């Protein structure tokens, strides 16, 4: 990186808020996915104006840049593959405004997800999106990835809970997309900005929607001898017109790993368990709980149990939320996949996942947002065993192909980033990708803002760096990945 650019950046954020030494940079080379890449500098701005100045400086020097929150992302969205400048939102962590009667808050992008709900709980309100990493992940990252969570079945994902974003455009302009009032005139730029994985500009303020906390939330645990039965219980619940707050499934491999780790009270000899959060007015919850239990029984649940108190509820959810960590204890390495299918196809796809695991000789545990049809197969592998990494990646890609064949999607909530960019061709045609490329061009014509994400490279889906054969891409799509540096 040119010294002149470093000096400019230091002048903008102050010498104490910039780093370009090797040791510091290593902290910014990773996120929660498998990829790694070192930035050339990290800056920690304190305002939208500073972000704007950083972007203008990067433009002058044709230097790539990207924003980074807590680095908990699972698809490489915050990894600076092409080097350049990482713009950390760590200092932009203020809750600027809470307006209870209008049910909104305005926060800076570095505010931690869970802190928003904590700050508004006294008013009986909450910020609904609750990704498993909510104790660490930031709202800026949630906006970039359109994060989901355990409760999106009933309440939707991040984009449903964002009213507006002040963004710094790739020209260095500061503009609001959407705002505190609804239905801002003009194109719904906010709708497309949320979930754009940091490739269309950088959010500098976020106006979030707050929702009243439900009067009552009860949790039901149902135990099944087969995944098919549990899946049918899920479909039957939805078909009966009940949309629970959350509807989660775990297979036996997951519950065994969890029990060895946190002792959530899950039976380890059952093929599948369902966790159902029923929320709403007390009387409605009291009506729906037995109805769901009856549906589970009809589908051969061997046991249904309602958490007696808040402590038992928390224990169950703690078990669910620690599923990924638990897999990390029983397996040398694991690779979390994220695919979506129509929920009625669950039994067939789970069988396919099992078959894929057998074919590759890899154990795959399944934890998923069953109500949404959002699968999270956890593929166990050992990076020290030759060929295992490639096998895990290839098996993951096969799972994604199976999801697309069933009419689903290659990502429900983790994003495309670097991890899945070469699988975009599986789900989208060249014309679909060309439309995305034209959108990217409208926001990010220079391609310096978080380059090399989302759009396919010349590799094929499921190929890793050393198994890749080169292919060809339509020109517009190839260009959308951004210039090489």
Give, as ranges, the residues between 443 and 482 that touch other proteins (CB under 8 A).
Answer: 443, 445, 454
Candidate list 128, 258, 296, 424; residue touching other proteins; CB under 8 A: 424
Note whether 386 binds other proteins by CB under 8 A.
no
- By CB under 8 A, what part of segment 394-423 binds other proteins? 407-416, 420
Q: Where are the alpha helices (DSSP H) in 61-188?
A: 113-120, 139-145, 152-155
Q: How far apart are the first and last CA of the chain?
A: 11
Contacts of 412 by beta carbon, 8 Å cutoff, 6+ apart: 148, 338, 339, 340, 369, 372, 373, 374, 375
Note whether 182 binds other proteins by CB under 8 A.
yes
Alpha carbons 172 and 434: distance in angstroms, whole number: 25
Candidate list 192, 294, 363, 473; residue touching other proteins; CB under 8 A: 192
Part of the chain binding other proteins (CB under 8 A), chosen from 60-68, 84-92, 129-137, 149-157: 149-157
Shortest distance, position 287 Cβ to other proteins, whole Å: 5
Shortest distance, position 285 Cβ to other proteins, whole Å: 9
What is each CA distance from 404 to 269, 345, 426, in whole angstroms?
A: 32, 12, 7
Shortest distance, position 397 Cβ to other proteins, whole Å: 14
Part of the chain binding other proteins (CB under 8 A), chosen from 89-97, 263-271, 334-342, 355-363: 334-342
Shortest distance, position 99 Cβ to other proteins, whole Å: 8
**Of residues 108 and 279, the one with the C-beta less far from other proteins:** 279
Candidate list 269, 303, 310, 432; residue touching other proteins; CB under 8 A: 432
**Of residues 263 and 298, the one with the C-beta less far from other proteins:** 298
What is each CA distance from 318 to 251, 314, 370, in whole angstroms?
A: 16, 6, 18
**Of residues 113 and 331, the one with the C-beta less far from other proteins:** 113
Shortest distance, position 266 Cβ to other proteins, whole Å: 25
Note whether 124 binds other proteins by CB under 8 A.
yes
Alpha carbons 445 and 433: distance in angstroms, whole number: 16
Shortest distance, position 284 Cβ to other proteins, whole Å: 4
- By CB under 8 A, what part of segment 8-67 binds other proteins? none
Collapse the DSSP code of 251 into the 3-class scheme (helix H, G, I; strand E, B; otherwise coil) and give the result: strand
Shortest distance, position 286 Cβ to other proteins, whole Å: 7
Alpha carbons 348 and 135: distance in angstroms, whole number: 34
What is each CA distance from 378 to 78, 98, 241, in whole angstroms?
A: 22, 39, 31
Note whether 349 binds other proteins by CB under 8 A.
no
Interface with other proteins (CB under 8 A), residue total 96
- By CB under 8 A, what part of segment 72-101 binds other proteins? 99-101
Shortest distance, position 180 Cβ to other proteins, whole Å: 6
**Cβ–Cβ < 8 Å for 110, 89:** yes
**Of residues 286 and 332, the one with the C-beta less far from other proteins:** 286
Shortest distance, position 163 Cβ to other proteins, whole Å: 10
In the shown chain, the binding pattern of residues 251 to 290 toward other proteins, with x for contact by CB under 8 A and - for none, equals: -----------------------------xxxxx-xxx--
Alpha carbons 228 and 224: distance in angstroms, whole number: 9
**Of residues 214 and 322, the one with the C-beta less far from other proteins:** 214
Would you state the structure tokens that stand for residue 100, as one six-digit string? 């209870």
Candidate list 15, 135, 351, 435; residue touching other proteins; CB under 8 A: 435
Candidate list 24, 60, 188, 475; residue touching other proteins; CB under 8 A: 188
Candidate list 3, 22, 122, 185; residue touching other proteins; CB under 8 A: 185
**Of residues 266 and 368, the one with the C-beta less far from other proteins:** 368
Write b or e for each residue in 280-303: b if 16 or more Cβ atoms lie within 10 A of its Cβ, otherwise e: beeeebeebbeebbebbeebebee
- By CB under 8 A, what part of segment 210-239 binds other proteins? 212-215, 235-236, 238-239
Note whether 189 binds other proteins by CB under 8 A.
yes
Candidate list 29, 59, 169, 333; residue touching other proteins; CB under 8 A: 169
Note whether 106 binds other proteins by CB under 8 A.
no
Alpha carbons 485 and 480: distance in angstroms, whole number: 14
Residue 371's DSSP bridge partners are none
CB neighbours of residue 183 within 10 Å: 8
Diameter over CA atoms, the chain? 71
Candidate list 4, 96, 118, 175; residue touching other proteins; CB under 8 A: 175
What is each CA distance from 294 to 224, 229, 299, in whole angstroms?
A: 13, 13, 9
φ/ψ of 384, rounded to 5, equals: -85, -10
Note whether 343 binds other proteins by CB under 8 A.
yes
Contacts of 216 by beta carbon, 8 Å cutoff, 6+ apart: 279, 280, 281, 282, 285
- By CB under 8 A, what part of segment 287-306 binds other proteins? 287-288
Note whether 122 binds other proteins by CB under 8 A.
no
**Of residues 87 and 423, the one with the C-beta less far from other proteins:** 423
**Cβ–Cβ < 8 Å for 280, 212:** no
Pairing of strands 216-224, 303-306: antiparallel
């Amino acid at each position: 990186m040119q010294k002149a650019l470093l000096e400019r950046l230091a002048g903008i954020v102050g010498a104490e808020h910039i780093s370009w030494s090797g040791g510091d940079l290593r902290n910014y080379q990773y996120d929660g996915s498998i990829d790694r890449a070192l930035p050339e500098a990290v800056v920690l701005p304190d305002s939208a104006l500073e972000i704007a100045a950083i972007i203008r400086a990067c433009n002058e020097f044709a230097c790539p840049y990207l924003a980074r929150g807590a680095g908990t992302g699972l698809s490489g969205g915050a990894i600076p593959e092409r080097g350049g400048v990482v713009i950390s939102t760590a200092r932009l962590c203020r809750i600027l405004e809470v307006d209870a009667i209008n049910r909104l808050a305005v926060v800076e992008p570095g505010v931690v997800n869970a802190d928003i709900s904590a700050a508004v709980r006294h008013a009986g309100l909450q910020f609904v999106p609750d990704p498993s990493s909510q104790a660490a992940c930031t709202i800026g990252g949630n906006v970039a990835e359109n994060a989901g969570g355990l409760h999106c079945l009933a309440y939707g994902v991040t984009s449903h809970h964002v009213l507006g974003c002040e963004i710094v455009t790739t020209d260095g302009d500061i503009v609001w997309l959407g705002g505190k009032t609804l239905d801002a005139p003009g194109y719904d730029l906010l709708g497309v900005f949320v979930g754009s994985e940091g490739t269309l500009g950088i959010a500098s303020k976020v106006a979030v929607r707050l929702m009243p906390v439900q009067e009552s939330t009860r949790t039901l645990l149902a135990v099944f001898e087969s995944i098919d039965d549990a899946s049918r219980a899920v479909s039957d619940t939805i078909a009966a017109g009940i949309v629970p707050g959350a509807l989660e499934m775990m297979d036996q491999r997951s519950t065994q790993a969890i029990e060895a780790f946190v002792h959530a009270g899950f039976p380890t000899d059952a093929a599948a368990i369902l966790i159902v959060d029923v929320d709403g007015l007390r009387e409605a919850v009291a009506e729906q709980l037995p109805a769901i239990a009856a549906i589970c029984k009809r589908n051969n649940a061997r046991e249904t149990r309602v958490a007696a108190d808040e402590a038992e509820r928390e224990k169950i959810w703690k078990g669910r939320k620690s599923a990924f960590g638990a897999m990390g204890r029983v397996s040398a390495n694991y690779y979390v996949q994220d695919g979506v299918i129509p929920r009625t196809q669950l039994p067939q796809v789970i069988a396919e996942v099992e078959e894929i695991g057998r074919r590759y000789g890899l154990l795959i545990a399944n934890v998923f947002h069953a109500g949404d049809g959002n699968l999270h197969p956890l593929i166990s592998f050992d990076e020290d065993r030759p060929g295992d990494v490639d096998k895990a990646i290839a098996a993951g890609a096969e799972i994604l192909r199976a999801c697309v064949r069933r009419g689903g999607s290659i990502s429900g909530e983790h994003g495309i980033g670097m991890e899945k960019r070469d699988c975009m061709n599986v789900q989208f045609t060249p014309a679909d990708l060309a439309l995305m490329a034209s959108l990217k061009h409208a926001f990010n014509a220079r391609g310096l803002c978080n380059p090399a994400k989302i759009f396919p490279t010349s590799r094929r889906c499921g190929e890793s760096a050393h198994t890749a054969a080169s292919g060809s891409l339509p020109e517009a799509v190839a260009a959308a990945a951004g210039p090489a540096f």
